[in-house]
Amino acid sequence: MGKGKAPRRTLDSYTLRNINKTIKAGDCVLMRPAERSKPQYVARIERIVADARGGNVKVHVRWYYRPEESIGGRRQFHGSKEVFLSDHYDVQSADTIEAKCTVHSFKSYTKLDAVGNDDFFCRFEYNSATGAFNPDRVAVYCKCEMPYNPDDLMVQCEGCSDCMWECTFDSGFTLLV
């Protein structure tokens, strides 16, 4: 008779000895890529499970995609620290976590006094199968006709700050202007 799967139990938190940090569901982390030349993967922990003895710890994660990993790729308005919360879920060994990080809302990110290596921002959810974004509309600006990129300095014109119109990119991504 074959061995059955060992019972798993959900953990409220888990301390990563290699970085001396405690993780819990809802935390964002940087995970080791398969190829060292690639950037670390960004993920949100959904659940932490271990075997009955508390070993073999696995994290259920929801991946963030970088713009270059999405259909359509990186565009001029994407910030260097921008990620998209995807519908892609996975189970990984807790040993692949290299650091904790923070994924801010776009609004809170733009208010940071200093951006650290572990700071990212998210303004879209991304459907990895269809390439669709949610929201599928975002404000753009009258001179550059692009959404705000927090990496670039932007000066607001008092006369047209409320200007809005629609512009559709070739990927079907519609922006409000």
Mean pLDDT by 10 residues, the chain (177 residues): 71 92 97 93 97 88 96 90 97 96 95 95 94 84 67 62 41 47
How many C-beta atoms lie closer than 10 Å to residue 167's C-beta? 12
Beta bridge partners of 103: 120
**What is the separation of C-alpha 54 from the centre of its chain, rounded to a whole number of angstroms?**
29
Q: Answer yes or no: are the C-beta atoms of 82 and 120 closer than 8 Å.
A: yes
Residue 94 structure tokens: 């807790």
What is the reported pLDDT for 32? 95
Q: Which amino acid, 50? A: A
Instruction: Identify the three-state secondary structure at position 42.
Output: strand
Q: What dotted CATH number matches 9-137?
A: 2.30.30.490
Residue 53: predicted pLDDT: 81
State the Cα–Cα distance between residues 46 and 99, nearest whole angstrom: 16
Q: What pTM, to 2 d.p., does this model score?
A: 0.80
CATH 2.30.30.490 residue spans of the chain: 9-137
Give the pLDDT score at 54. 74
Which alpha helices (H) appear in 59-166, and where do they start and end? 106-110
Closest to 120 measured CA to CA, from 148, 72, 80: 80
Determine the residue type at 71: I
